[in-house]
Structure 1
Amino acid sequence: MTSASAATELSGEDTLALTEQGTTSVSPRTFIVTLYGLYGRRHDGWLSVASLIALLGDLGVDEQAVRSSISRLKRRGILEARRQGGLAGYELSPEAREILHEGDERIFRQERPSLADGWVLAVFSVPESERSKRYQLRSRLSGMGFGTVAPGVWIAPAHLYESTSAMLRRLDLTAYVDLLRSEYLAFAAVPEKVRQWWDLDELALRYEAFIAAQEPVLERWQKHPSADDVAAFVDYIRALTSWRRLPYMEPGLPAEVLPERWAGLHAAPLFFALKTELEGRAQAHVARTLGP
């Protein structure tokens, strides 16, 4: 399976869907990726099948769905089978570790860049004979949150240069792309152009769905603190799994270019408040489940 498939899975790109009711549906595979991203890397990238079944059971996923999802992640080159201490289990592939490491900076980044930080442009041209490369390139730039200026010209905040460069090298696409640092000079207002380059209406719907689902969770924990580590684990994993796709769709656009009352400016503090409230208790539950 290709690097592009692994990157798509690890960012949650094809496994988080907004329903007609505005809620987010989550596949068991996406929960598994979240667990490996949070906890698997603390255990040398390896988790036993039994512990995965137990933790996913807390999230309401049955054993058959867990095993089926693990098999698919293995086929996609994300997990590799390995026994440890007599137990059957899976570890992250080297490629998956690299992608998750890159994702940490994106998912847990709290500060937004300023307009003065500038932009990175990805300018590419792919021969007609290599259309699959063109599709792969467009798919990955879109998956990283790039907006479209024109055919073959994509744009993102400048802080994405390093992760974009790493992605292009990993997928062997550097021969088709030039990366340029840029500043918008004329002839329209930048917020106007940003609305052309990104689908801000769709992004707002995603943020609003996250807020609607997670704000009551935070209020409940703040008003009625609980010692229930299992409940904290469930709420934290659900919140993080829903959140981790959003920073890829909206790649930290400067606040100066966003609409007034932009939902993302509320969604991010909400996620980090949930992280502060729940992370420690969730970790305690996982530690007991995984054992020594």
Structure 2
Amino acid sequence: MEKQFNTRSMIFTLYGDYIRHYDHVIWIGSLIRLLEEFGHNEQAVRAAISRMNKQGWVQAEKRGNKSYYYLTERGKARMEEASKRIYKTEAPRWDQNWYMLVYTIPEEKRHVRDELRQELVWSGFGLLANSCWITPNPMEEEVARLIEKYDIKEYVSFFKATYIGMQDQTALVQKCWDLSEVNHRYDLFIKEYSEKYILAKRKLEKGELSDGSCFVESAWLVHQYRKFLFIDPNLPEPLLPQDWLGDAAASLFTDYYQMLQKPATRFFETVFALGEHD
């Protein structure tokens, strides 16, 4: 498997999986040391965290001669939302309603429109028609956050609606999301990580996996599984196809992650603690 990912994306993974549990903050030296495990150098880490700072995900803080980076409120909200979906144990309940967002953002704000589209896809919305997005999940808080973030209140209408036709709900889902492609990706994930899970389990039982190796394997696992947040709309069970593989993939991910968690966390805490001493 390819083992070189975008440095910024890897930092997001570490914040979501570890750092948010430690007051959302880390010393830059510890972050650099952790990213070395994945082949990222100091220059790349500093450039990536600086970019995240400018984008409003993290905030820098000086303590003596050390620089620390902590998640902003926006960063915390994104990590919490992502965590709920990554570590979910069951599909969301459905109240039979659809939530519809419609916008008319002017051309001079095209960059806002483009960013909003990406945010909506990440949040699980599907494009029903031009500038009209829907989801079966109650997303009032997320939508309110987006409207405030992009200052687009005057351009947006948000509805709670009932679908009465003319096609059935399945046709509506097929129009808005390509679930067959998502299912195919889940199938590939299951085939690859079933083998990795068995191999890692044997090595752990024989004492052949160090804490550092478990940290790397756990982070890669989360990093790969996190990609489904961008393509799986997290639909309620009644709207999913009968051969849906999302639950099987989630079960495999959970078993593998829990197996690696204790030694991986030990390694993280050892490196994290370097920032606690002057």
Scaled by the length of structure 2, the TM-score of the pair is 0.84
The aligned residue for residue 283 of structure 1 is 265
Residue 201 (structure 1) shift: 3.4
> 1:153-198: CA deviations, max 9, x gaps?
2111223333233222232223222222233222223222211111
Residues 1:137 and 2:119 aligned together: no
**Alignment correspondent of 1:243:** 225
**Distance in 2 of aligned mates of 1:280 and 1:40:** 15
Instruction: Mark the CA change 1:56 to 1:180 in structure 2 (over 3 Å): closer, same or farther.
Output: same
1:24·1:209 contact (CA, 8 Å) conserved in 2?
A: no
1:52 matched to 2:31: yes
Alpha carbons of structure 1 residues 203 and 67: separation in structure 2 relative to 1, 3 Å: same
> Residue 267 of structure 1 corresponds to which residue in structure 2?
249
Structure 1 SS opposite 2:157: strand
Superposed, 1:87-236 pairs within 5 Å as: 87-128=66-107, 130-226=109-205, 228-236=210-218
**Contact 1:24-1:242 within 8 A present in 2 as well:** no
Answer yes or no: is the 8 Å Cα contact 1:233–1:278 preserved in 2: yes
Q: Give 3-state SS (helix, strand or coil) of 1:225's partner.
A: helix
In structure 1, how many angstroms separate the alpha carbons of the residues matched to 2:98 and 2:202? 42
Structure-2 separation of matches of 1:288 and 1:263: 37
Deviates more, 1:184-193 or 1:232-241: 184-193
> C-alpha distance in 2, partners of 1:114/1:91?
33
Structure 1 residue runs of 4+, over 6 Å off?
none
Alignment deviations for residues 212-235 of structure 1 (CA, whole Å, 9 cap, x no partner) = 432222222334425522121111
> Measured at CA, do residues 160 and 267 of structure 1 come closer, stay the same or move farther in structure 2, by a change above 3 Å?
farther
Q: What runs of 5+ residues in structure 2 fail to find an aligned partner?
A: none
> What SS class does the counterpart of residue 163 from structure 2 fall into?
coil
Against the structure 1 CA distance between its residues 109 and 169, is the aligned structure 2 distance closer, same or farther, given a 3 Å change threshold? farther
Contact residue 100 and residue 161 of structure 2 kept, 8 A: yes
Give the distance between the partners of 2:204 and 2:108, measured in 1 at CA: 60
Where 1:61 maps in the other structure, the secondary structure is coil
1:58 CA displacement: 1.7
- Percent pairwise identity: 30
Write out per-residue CA displacement over residues 94-119 of structure 1, whole angstroms, 9 at most, x where no aligned residue: 33223223333233222213454432
Out of 49-58 and 208-217, give the one that drifted further.
208-217
- Please report how far the alpha carbon of residue 134 of structure 1 lies from its aligned counterpart in structure 2 after TM superposition: 3.2
Aligned equivalents of 2:34, 2:134: Cα separation in 1: 39
Match of 2:46 in 1: 67
Query: Which residue matches 1:6?
Result: none
List gaps (5 residues or longer) in structure 1. 1-20
Query: Which residue in the other structure is 2:16 paired with?
Result: 37
CA distance 1:24–1:176, change in 2 (3 Å): farther
The code of the aligned residue for 1:278 comes to L
| CA distance, structure 2, for counterparts of residue 196 and residue 180 of structure 1 | 19
Q: Is the 8 A contact 2:28 2:69 kept in 1?
A: yes
The CA deviation string for residues 21-44 of structure 1, in whole angstroms up to 9 with x for no partner, is 9x7962111111111223323333
Paired residues in the alignment total 271
User: Is the 1:102–1:163 Cα contact (8 Å) retained in structure 2?
Assistant: no
Question: Does the 8 A contact of 1:117 with 1:158 survive in 2?
Answer: no
Is residue 82–residue 229 contact of structure 2 (8 Å, CA) maintained in 1? no
What letter matches 1:290 in structure 2? F
User: 1:58 and 1:231 mapped to 2: Cα distance?
Assistant: 9
In 2: Cα distance, 1:25 partner to 1:149 partner: 35
